[in-house]
């Protein structure tokens, strides 16, 4: 039981960057659908996806599962390993943005929520289309400034080599 729990609640390291870019593309689509429709359930789905990916990687994320179990095999199992911790940090940033959007939507103003989701969509589009992960970029600076524990920095090196 403990092994099953640990295997589900485990963020991969390394991460397949191609799968991450596919997920980011799906985030863009979902974000635009929310912005255009204003349907709150789409915002909950966006929030859930980030929460699931922060906690479990692709294991409980519909978009993560679609990318890793269906799309990657369809694309010939292409792999481009990158360190997991920066990608997890990026998912956490997405979780913060989607949480703020949810709060804004229900407590302040749906237009404000759409603005936050628009920013989220922009950064997801950069990841998906240009392979620029803004969260990973910030994570790199946090490492250099000593704000990320050395053990996590070592995980990034292990993720690059293995």
Q: What separation, in Å, do the N-terminal and C-terminal C-alpha atoms of the chain show?
A: 27
What does pTM read for this prediction?
Answer: 0.88
Peptide bond into 106 cis (omega under 30): no
Structural domain for 18, as ranges: 2-161
Token pair, residue 15, equals 């991460």
DSSP 3-state assignment of 15? strand
Evaluate whether 149 touches 89 at the Cβ level (below 8 Å).
no
Q: What is the distance between the alpha carbons of residues 98 and 43, in angstroms, rounded to a whole number?
A: 7
Total domains, the chain:
1
Per-residue pLDDT tens, the chain, 162 aa: give them: 555 555 566 777 888 999 999 999 999 999 999 999 999 999 999 999 999 999 998 989 999 999 999 999 999 988 998 888 899 999 999 999 999 999 999 999 999 999 999 999 999 999 999 999 999 899 888 888 888 777 766 666 644 544
What is the per-residue pLDDT for 157?
A: 60
């Amino acid at each position: 039981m403990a092994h099953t729990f640990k295997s589900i609640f485990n963020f991969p390291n390394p991460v397949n960057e191609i799968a991450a870019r596919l997920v980011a593309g799906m985030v863009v689509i979902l974000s635009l659908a929310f912005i255009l429709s204003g349907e709150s359930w789409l915002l909950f789905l966006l929030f859930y996806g980030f929460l699931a990916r922060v906690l479990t990687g692709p294991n409980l994320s519909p978009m993560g599962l679609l990318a890793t179990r269906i799309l990657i095999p369809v694309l010939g199992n292409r792999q481009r390993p990158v360190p997991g911790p920066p990608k997890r940090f990026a998912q956490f940033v997405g979780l913060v943005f989607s949480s703020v959007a949810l709060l804004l939507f229900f407590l302040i103003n749906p237009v404000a929520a759409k603005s936050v989701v628009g920013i989220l969509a922009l950064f997801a589009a950069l990841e998906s289309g240009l392979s620029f992960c803004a969260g990973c970029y910030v994570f790199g600076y946090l490492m250099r400034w000593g704000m990320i524990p050395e053990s996590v920095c070592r995980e990034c090196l292990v993720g690059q080599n293995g």
